Amino acid sequence: MSDSSTPSFDAWVEYCFTGGYHDFHAGHGSPERCEYERWTEGLEPPTLAEFVVRLFRSPAFIADRYTDDQIADATWFLFGCASGYFHVLRSDAVPRSLQIEYTASVATLYTELFDRVCCKRGANPDGDYTNDLKVDTAVYMIWDMDCIEGAVMFPESSPHLVEPSFGVLDTVLARCCTSSCQVSALHALGHIHPYHPQRAERMIDAFIASRSVAQWVRNYAEQARRGHVL
């Protein structure tokens, strides 16, 4: 998109939370698919990075504006192959400073949005809904979606994103109260474990020692500590 046709941040947010995931599955040549291509292929990478940082830094309004299912679909869209945004964000077209900023901002997305809407909007923070509720499932799977964890697993391609990524996981484990957010971070560490076993184990040990968590979360943490997650 040229500067004259670059959409507003608000229009982009509305599309991500109401149309993106649906349009990804639309037939080629359909109006929905054309709209999808406009918001993925047509958005300049630096603009995309700035939009993502702005949304992730101040996401609390999303909980009031959209339903849990819309938030779930948008999570799959934003982080997954439906948009491919995270491949674009790690490309040379995005300055490294912005790459570090968007990665670090994922922590605020967890603490101010996901921790608010997961586990029936906090009504049962210790409950296991990762296979039952769409938004909890989406949050659990974030680090699998479009390989956001790849920056940690394969640091030779993005060495500047290793510490910001670990910083996100540290924040989630230290501050999030819902089990779905906690297990999302443990899920990530379980996958990262083969690449950074000592660091993953230290983080999980610190989490278990410092937090009072549900037994099922503790059991999952022990599996993640051995790298035994799917």
| Sign of the alpha-carbon dihedral angle for 132, 133, 136, 141 | positive
> Smallest Cα–Cα separation from 118: which of 214, 191, 3, 200?
214
Residue 178's CB is within 10 A of a number of other CB atoms, namely: 26
Name the residue with tokens 């993502």.
52
Q: Once rounded to an integer, what is the mean pLDDT over residues 166-181?
A: 98
Q: Report angle CA 184, 121, 208 to the nearest 5 degrees.
A: 40
pTM > 0.85: yes or no: yes
The pLDDT, as a whole number, for residue 148 is: 87
Q: What is the pLDDT of residues 135-148, one digit of tens each?
A: 999 999 999 997 78
- The more confidently predicted of residues 42 and 183 is 183
The pLDDT, as a whole number, for residue 3 is: 46
Amino acid at 221: A
Name the residue with tokens 């997961």.
118
Q: Return d(Cα 162, Cα 199) in angstroms, integer.
A: 12
> Smallest Cα–Cα separation from 92: which of 49, 57, 61, 132?
49
**pLDDT surpasses 60 at 2:** no
**pLDDT surpasses 50 at 125:** yes
Domain definitions of the chain by residue range: 3-225
Q: Return d(Cα 63, Cα 203) in angstroms, integer.
A: 29
> Smallest Cα–Cα separation from 76: which of 10, 150, 139?
139
The token pair at 122 is: 């906090």
